[in-house]
Amino acid sequence: MLLIAALLGPTGARAADRVVAATLDNGLRVLLLEDHRSPIVSFQVWYRVGSRNEQRGATGIAHFLEHLMFKGTPTHGPKQFARLVEENGGQDNAFTSQDVTSYFVDIAADKLDLVIELEADRMQNLLLNPKEIGSEREVVIEERRTRTEDDPGGFLGEEVGSIAFKAHPYGYPIIGWMEDIKRITPDEIRAFYKTYYVPNNAIVVAVGAFKASEVLEKIRRRFGRIPRGRIPPPVLAVEPPQNGERRVAVKKQAELPIVYLAWHVPNQRSGDAPALEVLSTILAGGRASRLYRDLVYQRQLALEAGGDYSYFSIDPNLFWFWATPMPGQTAETLEKELLAHMDRLKTEPVTEEELARAKNQIEAAMVFQEDSIHRRASLLARFEVIGGFALKDTFIARIRAVTAADLARVASTWFAQDKKSIGILQPKQ
């Protein structure tokens, strides 16, 4: 009951009742939520573009452009964005995903005018100097080496993703293939920027200590004069049904083997999405989860084991499982153990205790995010991207409605033995 009270309390009130939402004449979507608990604000700009919007031969361009968004405009030169934010006591950062590119600044509320000016300026006036593009290319290349090519887990995940998707761009690595990063031209980057960095393809979200009506007027004055762009081209690719198991085996400098399993599953538009979210938590949500408790803690077969479901994915995506064998154990053993857990879900109903624990974990995570203005803003943006910020108000109800029978049904429906993609990484001798 305490959890429910927290969800219905002042910080967790229905989003639709408290958010000031507007769409400017140029198509910019604005979501504002007052939160006066501390004198700070989180100002975020989310562009509806990620690796799913890329073409073959130009993978990684969305992430590359994310780096270049900090390289200056005619008004604010290279590195001035971060310098001005830091001088005023704020923090800024950005990330690129399959579906979106997000930029945020967390700063004292009385500095909000500065952030509005900076973000509106780079939405329209990015320099994209060829020299800056050349130097940042080396930074992205090094990032790929560090996070993918020299990281066994990242390397294997990329390989499995590339075989799991034959048609859909979700099979591309977000950071891009190395050959593409080296080849992408300044003209291609400028064209990508002009296509996707337009107000009618963006969401501005602000949460913090301000008066929403005043901030909306400031956003309207500054962002509202940026011209509407053409509607970006839609992503038309649809992944065909998988016909048979797919498998990739690689050797890499590593201490231990790694096993990855992936199945195609629906996204949040499906009625099965809440059950898949609960299933992910039961299997891999912390130290009380089935995989950790059985494979890591009790039988000590694995050093780590987990799974993930992308609830907020725009298009149908993958349900992942992975495990790293303990020294002396083999990848083949862990693969069989992971598959045994999947088969058990189809034949044995989860216990009421497991089901209740998973639901409470998901609800608690939502409550804890309400304690952070940054996370509150991010949640509003994520729900807006998948269909509207008001969907946040129905999320917990959908989770609470999941039954043990639902879990067995979705496990049987989506985790067929002959529909999986498997990756095995063996340490190079």
> Going by DSSP bridges, is the β-strand pair 20-23/29-34 parallel, antiparallel, or unpaired?
antiparallel
The one catalytic residue in 34, 54, 66, 142 is 66
Dihedral sign for Cα atoms in the order 306, 310, 315, 316: positive
Q: What tokens appear for 304 in the block?
A: 């780590």
Alpha-carbon distance 304 to 291, whole Å? Answer: 9
The CA-based dihedral angle spanning residues 334, 340, 344, 345, taken in that order and rounded to the nearest 10 degrees? 60
Q: At what angle do helices 273-284 and 352-369 cross, to 10 degrees?
A: 100
Instruction: Examine the residue annotation and report whether 66 is marked as an active-site residue of this protein.
Output: yes
Residues noted as catalytic: 66
